[in-house]
Structures are given as structure tokens and as C-alpha cells.
Amino acid sequence: MKRIFTACFLIVFFFFHIVITRASDKEVLVVYFSRDGHTHMVAQKLAEAFDADIERLRDQKERTGMIGTLSAGKDAMAHNVTEIEPLANNPNDYSVILIGTPAWFSNMAPAVRTFIEQFHLTDKTIGLFSTCHRIGADKATQQMAELISAEKAAGYARLPLTHHDLEEGMLAEKIKQFESAINAQRLNE
Ligand SMILES: Cc1cc2nc3c(=O)[nH]c(=O)nc-3n(C[C@H](O)[C@H](O)[C@H](O)COP(=O)(O)O)c2cc1C
């Protein structure tokens, strides 16, 4: 009798454990690099809009100061990878990955290139966002798309932003359009 009771207890316990764990699982992960905070701000808004987990990539190489800025530009233009700190979240656990980068001479930042090259993302729903001062965010998102999958690149939702676009009302509108594009992509898969 005691054994039956213990077995029933364990079955009920594991059932509720699975239900509770699944209920708190998120489907969307926002992964981004930001040196000066603009891409970070967009990533936070996206995480709110999509009820997503969020992962900020940390480049082990110094990217600030005169030397750091020079190496940032040089590495981005040369399509170099870098060393990034281990991630807190596992991208394999999510079905939608939103990836963000600052545009460095119209290229993605090396930390983002490293992330894309480290993970197999072709079976995910992908959204790509980038911030720039005036020109280059569209090229950076295109570059990310092609690096993930040349075949699927054209279908990935994009959110290229200039600093002018970061004004509250305008950003909210663009995020809504991005959400619609992601939802359309999910329906097509
Ligand atoms: C090395 C480097 C290269 C950059 N190249 C461009 C560029 O080609 N076009 C542009 O409009 N802004 C350029 N910027 C500005 C950044 O793209 C812009 O400030 C971006 O929003 C920064 O993102 P963050 O604040 O998340 O780091 C560059 C900045 C750096 C540090």
C-alpha cells in the first residue's frame, strides 16, 4: 500500500513539475551585442513585446577607447570572429531567435558573427535588428541573414534602425511591423 502511495505521489509530482516548467518556458530569445546602449535599448523593447528571454553578448576583446574602436571597425570589416563569454541561455531551447547588432561600417559586430557561427539556427524562426547612426543597419541585417542561411535569408524579418528611428513613437510602430513579419514567417513554416 505504501509503495502504491509513493508511486502515485511521484507520478503526480512529475506531472505537475513538467506542467509548471513548460508553462514558464519562453519561445523567443533576443540575442544581441551593444557597445553604446542603442541596440540594448531596442533589445529590451523587443523582449517586452515578444515576452522573450534576453541574452547580451559580451565580447572579450576591448571595443572602447581609440584602440578598441579601431579594432572594432577593422574586425567588423574583415568579418573576423572574436571570443565571447558563455551564454546564460541555450538558443537550442527556443523556436524564435531575434538577433541584434550595431552596424559597424555596415557590418555586424564580431560578437554577433561569432554567435551566429557557433549555433545552428537554420531551423529557427529568425528576426534581425540593427542600429546605426545614419547608414548601414540594413546591410548589417542582410549580412546576418546570409550568414545564417543564404537559402532562407530573404524570408527573415528585418528591423534596421537609424538613431532617428529610436524616438519612442516611431520605434513602437516599427516593432509592431516587425512582430507582424515574424508572425507571418511562423505561419509559413
Ligand atoms: C566602429 C564603428 C563603426 C560604425 N560605423 C557606422 C556606420 O557605418 N554607419 C552609421 O550610421 N553608424 C556607424 N556607427 C555608429 C553605430 O552604428 C551606432 O551608434 C549604433 O547605434 C551603436 O549601437 P550600440 O549603441 O548598441 O553600440 C559606427 C560605430 C562604431 C563604433
Q: Residue 109 belongs to a domain with what CATH number?
A: 3.40.50.360
The confidence band for 22, taking pLDDT boundaries of 50, 70 and 90, is very low
DSSP code at position 98: E
Which phi and psi angles does 120 have, rounded to 5°? Answer: -85, 110
Residue 69 CB less than 6 A away from ligand 1: yes
Residue 6, in any domain of the structure: no
Burial 92-103 (b: 16+ CB within 10 A, else e): eebebbbbbbbb
Q: Report angle CA 132, 177, 28 to the nearest 5 degrees.
A: 85
Residue 147, in any domain of the structure: yes
Residue 7, in any domain of the structure: no
Domain coverage including residue 57? 26-188
Residue having the nearest C-alpha atom to atom 31 of ligand 1:
69
Q: Which of 160, 182, 188, 184 is nearest to 94 (CA)?
A: 182
Residue 2, in any domain of the structure: no
Residue 123, in any domain of the structure: yes
The pLDDT value given to residue 3: 66
Contacts of 125 (CB under 8 A, 6+ apart): 95, 96, 97, 182, 185, 186, 189
* CA dist list (Å): 2 to 11, 13, 15: 14, 16, 20
Which of 34, 36, 54, 107 for a ligand 1 pocket mutation test, highest count of atoms within 8 Å of Cβ? 36
Residue 14, in any domain of the structure: no
Residue 38 CB less than 6 A away from ligand 1: yes
The C-alpha atoms of residue 176 and residue 189 are separated, in whole angstroms, by 20
How far does the centroid of ligand 1 lie from the alpha carbon of residue 35, in Å? 9
Residue 18, in any domain of the structure: no
Query: Reading across the β-sheet that carries 96-102, which strands appear in turn?
Result: 53-56, 28-32, 96-102, 125-132, 157-162
Indicate the length of the chain as a whole number: 189
Assigned C-alpha cell, 99: 538577433
Residue 34 alpha carbon, nearest atom of ligand 1:
26
Which of 69, 104, 142 for a ligand 1 pocket mutation test, highest count of atoms within 8 Å of Cβ? 104
How far does the centroid of ligand 1 lie from the alpha carbon of residue 47, in Å? 22
Read off the pLDDT of residues 35-52 as tens digits, 9 standing for 90 and up: 999 999 999 999 999 999
User: Does residue 57 carry a pLDDT above 60?
Assistant: yes
How far does the centroid of ligand 1 lie from the alpha carbon of residue 61, in Å? 17
The confidence band for 62, taking pLDDT boundaries of 50, 70 and 90, is very high
Q: Which of 157, 91, 164 is nearest to 129 (CA)?
A: 157
Residue 146, in any domain of the structure: yes
Residue 37 alpha carbon, nearest atom of ligand 1:
25
Give me the number of domains the chain comprises: 1
Mean pLDDT for the stretch of residues 18-23: 46
For the entire predicted model, the pTM comes to 0.90
* Residues 53 and 26 sit within 8 Å (Cβ to Cβ): yes
